[in-house]
Structure 1
């Protein structure tokens, strides 16, 4: 019996071990049971195949690596392992699909296999191109969605009413598309919605704020930049509206500050920009959401000032972005708290000195106070901005005195604009410590200094403008260390520089490869801010484009954006003399060259023909000699050409772009002839041109100038001898003949 008992126990243990191994194998080997459902993997592949990949120069696989991994072949056949796909661990159903920024191109139609994925809870198709197709009503089949993001995806038409079937949504992103019509009133049935974002569409009509009364979960409401008119009824704004953390009502036709904001104590984001709000900023604004507010944007309104005493600093202790630009604000400059990263208040009427308090903004990245009436000298504490400051724009104010000598190494400044003020004296050489600097504009001031050659040691400097100051003397680069390695635009115009043209500043262009530069890349500073919005993080990206004013094509032109590939040299209205060096031909990527109103006295160099991309060439008001090279007609992009008021001679070239230039391009050169001038070249042809061609002439009237000269000399000798004989024999005849004529001339004079 003992042996039977042992045998039974052994069989039980063996069974349990086998069962354990079976369970382990079942759960550890995906080849035995796949998590992905066959119908869902098929639906995903059909959805993938309904689009093409429209990348710039990329293959399908490189343009969207997410869907490139979708295949039923090999080890990657389980759709739950595909990029952008997340499955429920228990059921294997696809519950999340993220194909954002995937370069998908095509239309979403009503029979799309996407709508077979009925277990989806999160769907993100933002930043694709759906070719202005409409959202099919079948989107209502995805009733389990809590997150739907279709922003920036080239969708159009009306917002389908079936979206209101998605009652579990807590996020709906429809921004930056081409949606039209009014916002459906049935949206109020989305009781769980936390974020509604319809920014930048063509939605129209009137939206009553009271329609959102029952959406108690709604925290972020963005209706901005449509054609909507927001109607705010005071009867529903006291305690009945949701407690918002984000409101963007930009361009919603508001004419006053919404009073319901008084009761919003948890705002993180508030934008009332691009409206018609007039008058003063009410004093109660200083008391809302003091600890939570991160973004305040009141730009592009008609605000004129502030009610009550403006706190110094402003009371929002966690403020990151403050934009009050393009209003009519008067008074002194408001000072934001130290937490501020971006402060914009240009295009107002602010006056007075810049307070020392501004230097407490130790986190500031972008500071734009331009186009106001701020006066006095700059605070000496600018160095306290530390490593954070990237952009400093003080253009078009009434600031004066010297630029502080406080620029330290390690500073991250990339753009400085001090132009159109009253700054004086010499430039601080400590500016040479700004190794990250890309553009600096010091134009239209009263600086009195020699050329700041030490800028040549800044490796990233692309734009240097010191026009309309009192800079003087020859431009001398003391040694090869100062190479201006990345300079693209140099404006020295309207100063008192002398000596030779300093084209050696640009010799590095000969060794640079410009072929791969994109025409769509601009000189700019890009910063990213992450702003928490309740349970979501909102990522902001700001592009600050460098703008400049330069004389181009005979006019003062303002470039709101400057392409990185643009190359321009303006040395006009100085005292440069001598020649235009042949080395100008080495600057083959040059677009603008202006050396007008100087004392240049050479011929126009033939090497200018190498500047194949030249668009504007101004050599006027100099002392240039000789002819206009015929080779310049090969400059196919030349739109502006001016050589007026020089000492040029000969025939004006014809053909190509030269046939488009008017009289004023050539006037003031008495020796020039030909179209478009009225001077006939036949009547101005100098004798030298005949003698040069006489040896090769086949004309029957050909003669030898040597014979003429010999004959002239012989006749002179004979005449002298005969005259002597006549005078000796009859002196009275000579006196009567020539003396009477001379007397007559004196009388007439």
Structure 2
């Protein structure tokens, strides 16, 4: 090798050496987790159960923790400082942790933690650990949806470096600590759904770096919005469903960075400041369900970046829809429902080409409106125009193309025919054309509209007469909710598709037998075919085919034969209403299989049977109506036999039968639901489960409720939803004898009590005065004697209807309180009674009383039988009639009863 060659080689070797040395020096030394922190993490893991059912779609991150030879800095969810190796971040969100956490946890030995995320675990209602204050380096803390509870500890004030705090869906149930207003580094604050109480610290809104504050769904949290200055950095403000109130300050227009403003479901009032139109970056604005008044500010048309605008539920909003809203060309959602807006929908609405959702239900909008205008909005999916004063028209243009809608609500829009544009709709899921003036048959082309997507169809309250060439089974394969009631439909019953869960076709003129094809409708929860002209027997399939059926209403038809005997075990029936038919025979014992049954109405049939005391073992039975049949015999006494006691019964109607024997005093002692209807027994509605199922299935707020007709305060009317606090007994028009037992006084929640038209003797028991919720009392047409207890006048403060006529009562009619509101018809037919309101004065100097006048003795006197029928003679509960009813027939039991409606008195 020559020297000339050796020197360059030497230089090359040196260069390679230097490069290698440089490369090695630039690499960071391997980071190793500190032994004490590794042990703390391992012990933290071992303090919990790994519950994979609570992972919320995630996975158990700590499963790999503790493997031999594996550095903890490489464990899932663990972040270490690259220079020192200390643990600075821990992300265990959705890590399937189950168990308690407290201040002794080894977690709080990780003193260098800067980020801690324990969201979406289950800490078994542990208190928020006060030892969080030890982690003074924290800048990020997320404990949301982690099943923690209790107050936010005061030690959190030590976390002065916090930039982000998320405690949403943690059960705090206490006021917001005022120390939050001292967190000068805070940028994001999430406290949604925490059960916060009291006044929110006003100064928190003024934190210099705060960009996001979300306090939604804290209904007991109060507060108001402060004055804002232009230096405020807020971008996101959500206080939906809180108790914030007051007026919106005009300075809200200074929030130049604001992008998301959600103020719905609060108690704000006053005018909406026009300065809201000064927020150039606003994309989301929700002012719904408040008490704003006046006009919708035209300046909202300046919010050209806005894509969501919700003004619904401000019933003091008046005036017109501002045409300036047409400037919001990026708007996708516009909700104006439940206000008092007037005028028409501006034609400029067609300029909102990105609009997907438009709702102006429940306003005072009017004028002739061409619904085809909305079809020009190519992106429109949801259109709701119901409950206004529109006269909708639709052009008959077979070439019309445009928006393919998903939901259409055109209820009460004065439609006279099916809108032509529906022919071209292929994606409909919801169609509501109810309460219009649509006549004739449902056209054949409707059978081809959205057959693979339609899930909700409401055509009720029209004048439809039938289906034009439809198949026996309706064609919409995914239909779940079908409402055809209150039309003029004729012919046989249309069979719903397999998918249907809710089917009502009541109040029509359908006839023939109930088709056995209903056997295939195995998904039904609700079936209501009442008030038609169906005949024949009730198909056995209705008692045993559907494992989901909860409501079965067949009332007011011409059904004959026996009640089906094949009620299957494990069924979910809660309501069976077979009233007002021509059913015969006995009540089948298989009804015992309906263990969830709450409401049973067999009234107004031809059933001949003894009292079905065995129904008393049904644990949920609330309402039992057996009126106007041919039941006979005694009721029995559960205290002297092994009869079941109807543990939840609160309404029973046995009127117009042939029962005899004494009143069932033992039952009066056992019917605890009539004795105490406190919060534990009181529920708002019968069909919560069905309502929830329907809402989940259809994503619409539709529900079905039980109903019952009850004669209340002299007028028959239907209660569309029976609240669980109603308690009533009607044993009128039978042959009960003996005395009224004192045990009736146990049923302190009774509002309606009728023993009229029986053979009861003895005096009116003072115990009735214990029924201080009583509104109606009927004891007429018996053999009662003695004085009217003074306690009735002094203690029955809510009594509005009283009928004691045609007995053998004597003495002075008590005065005062409600008794001064009753008319003479409440007391006539008792020759020994005297005093107001009768014309007969009491004679105090002798034991004799004046002879009754001719119009007070004998039978009906001069009273009109129509007036009598409005009163409480026989039958408080009829369970058959819809709406307000004038009875045209003269039942003998009624004609033997006198009652008159008094002036009503409202509860104070």
Which residue in 2 is equivalent to 1:550? 710
Q: Deviations over 1:552-595 (max 9, x none)?
A: 44554433333321211110000100000111222222111110
Q: Deviations over 1:126-145 (max 9, x none)?
A: 76323445443443454333
Which residue in 1 is equivalent to 2:499? 339
Is 2:316 the counterpart of 1:176? Answer: no
1:508 & 1:143 partners in 2: Cα distance? 68
Which residue in 1 is equivalent to 2:304? 143
Higher mean Cα deviation, 185-194 or 27-36? 27-36
Report deviation, 1:94: 7.2
Report deviation, 1:418: 0.9
Which residue in 2 is equivalent to 1:502? 664
The within-5 A match list for 1:209-358 is 209-235=371-397, 238-308=399-469, 310-358=470-518
Q: Residues 515 and 244 of structure 1: is their aligned pair in 2 closer, same or farther, counting only changes over 3 Å?
A: closer
TM-score (ref. length: structure 1) = 0.78
Q: Is 2:661–2:737's contact at 8 Å kept on the other side of the alignment? A: yes
Q: Deviations over 1:270-322 (max 9, x none)?
A: 221111111111111112221111111111111122223x3121111111111
Equivalent of residue 677 in structure 2, options 509, 514, 525: 514
For the aligned residues, what is the CA RMSD? 4.0
2:194 & 2:496 partners in 1: Cα distance? 45
Secondary structure in structure 2 of the residue aligned to 1:188: helix
Q: Is 1:360–1:384's contact at 8 Å kept on the other side of the alignment? A: no
Q: Hey, which of these two has a bigger chunk of helix by percent?
A: 1
Equivalent of residue 597 in structure 1, options 745, 749, 757: 757
Q: Residues 331 and 198 of structure 1: is their aligned pair in 2 closer, same or farther, counting only changes over 3 Å?
A: same
Q: Deviations over 1:434-493 (max 9, x none)?
A: 222221211111111111112212222221111101111000255456222221111110
2:254 & 2:312 partners in 1: Cα distance? 17
Q: Deviations over 1:603-650 (max 9, x none)?
A: 111112211121111111011121111221112211122111112222
Equivalent of residue 159 in structure 1, options 316, 321, 327: 321
Report deviation, 1:518: 10
Q: Residues 221 and 680 of structure 1: is their aligned pair in 2 closer, same or farther, counting only changes over 3 Å?
A: closer
Equivalent of residue 411 in structure 1, options 548, 551, 571: 571
Q: Residues 73 and 671 of structure 1: is their aligned pair in 2 closer, same or farther, counting only changes over 3 Å?
A: closer
Q: Residues 666 and 407 of structure 1: is their aligned pair in 2 closer, same or farther, counting only changes over 3 Å?
A: same
1:550 & 1:574 partners in 2: Cα distance? 19
2:419 & 2:483 partners in 1: Cα distance? 18
Q: Residues 292 and 166 of structure 1: is their aligned pair in 2 closer, same or farther, counting only changes over 3 Å?
A: same
1:262 & 1:678 partners in 2: Cα distance? 72
Q: Residues 333 and 4 of structure 1: is their aligned pair in 2 closer, same or farther, counting only changes over 3 Å?
A: closer
Higher mean Cα deviation, 561-570 or 336-345? 561-570
Q: Deviations over 1:697-733 (max 9, x none)?
A: xxxxxxxxxxxxxxxxxxxxxxxxxxxxxxxxxxxxx
1:554 & 1:220 partners in 2: Cα distance? 45
The within-5 A match list for 1:545-694 is 545-554=705-714, 556-634=716-794, 635-682=796-843, 685-686=846-847
Q: Is 2:512–2:534's contact at 8 Å kept on the other side of the alignment? A: yes
2:374 & 2:678 partners in 1: Cα distance? 55
1:583 & 1:531 partners in 2: Cα distance? 44
Which residue in 2 is equivalent to 1:487? 649
Q: Deviations over 1:79-126 (max 9, x none)?
A: 5474559xxxxxx99776655444554555765359645434763637
Secondary structure in structure 1 of the residue aligned to 2:391: strand
Which residue in 1 is equivalent to 2:348? 186
Q: List gaps (5 residues or longer) in structure 1.
A: 37-48, 50-59, 86-91, 689-749
2:618 & 2:287 partners in 1: Cα distance? 40
Q: List gaps (5 residues or longer) in structure 2.
A: 1-13, 32-79, 90-113, 116-138, 141-159, 166-180, 182-191, 218-231, 261-281, 850-908
1:304 & 1:108 partners in 2: Cα distance? 53
2:367 & 2:671 partners in 1: Cα distance? 56
Secondary structure in structure 2 of the residue aligned to 1:179: coil
2:21 & 2:204 partners in 1: Cα distance? 48
1:684 & 1:542 partners in 2: Cα distance? 68
1:523 & 1:114 partners in 2: Cα distance? 50
The within-5 A match list for 1:93-112 is 99-108=239-248, 111-112=251-252
Q: Is 2:259–2:283's contact at 8 Å kept on the other side of the alignment? A: no
Secondary structure in structure 2 of the residue aligned to 1:527: helix
Q: Is 1:545–1:561's contact at 8 Å kept on the other side of the alignment? A: yes
Report deviation, 1:392: 1.1
Q: Deviations over 1:301-355 (max 9, x none)?
A: 11122223x3121111111111111111111111110100111111111111000
2:356 & 2:771 partners in 1: Cα distance? 59
Q: Deviations over 1:8-46 (max 9, x none)?
A: 889866899999769x9899655879589xxxxxxxxxx
Which residue in 1 is equivalent to 2:290? 129
Q: Is 2:213–2:237's contact at 8 Å kept on the other side of the alignment? A: no
The within-5 A match list for 1:350-429 is 350-429=510-589
1:174 & 1:605 partners in 2: Cα distance? 58
Q: Residues 265 and 64 of structure 1: is their aligned pair in 2 closer, same or farther, counting only changes over 3 Å?
A: farther
Q: Residues 16 and 94 of structure 1: is their aligned pair in 2 closer, same or farther, counting only changes over 3 Å?
A: farther
1:514 & 1:332 partners in 2: Cα distance? 44
TM-score (ref. length: structure 2) = 0.65
Secondary structure in structure 2 of the residue aligned to 1:367: strand
Q: Is 1:319–1:337's contact at 8 Å kept on the other side of the alignment? A: yes
Higher mean Cα deviation, 557-566 or 443-452? 557-566
Q: Residues 102 and 454 of structure 1: is their aligned pair in 2 closer, same or farther, counting only changes over 3 Å?
A: farther
Secondary structure in structure 2 of the residue aligned to 1:558: strand
2:400 & 2:395 partners in 1: Cα distance? 13
Q: Residues 73 and 152 of structure 1: is their aligned pair in 2 closer, same or farther, counting only changes over 3 Å?
A: closer
Is 2:259 the counterpart of 1:119? Answer: yes
1:112 & 1:551 partners in 2: Cα distance? 55
Q: Residues 252 and 500 of structure 1: is their aligned pair in 2 closer, same or farther, counting only changes over 3 Å?
A: same
Q: Which has the larger radius of gyration?
A: 1
Equivalent of residue 691 in structure 2, options 515, 524, 527: 527
2:246 & 2:205 partners in 1: Cα distance? 25
Which residue in 2 is equivalent to 1:200? 362
Q: Is 1:104–1:128's contact at 8 Å kept on the other side of the alignment? A: no
Is 2:614 the counterpart of 1:454? Answer: yes
Q: Is 1:662–1:676's contact at 8 Å kept on the other side of the alignment? A: yes
Q: Is 2:627–2:656's contact at 8 Å kept on the other side of the alignment? A: yes
Which residue in 2 is equivalent to 1:732? none
Q: Is 1:69–1:83's contact at 8 Å kept on the other side of the alignment? A: no
Q: Deviations over 1:206-252 (max 9, x none)?
A: 222342343211122111121112221234x6243222222222111
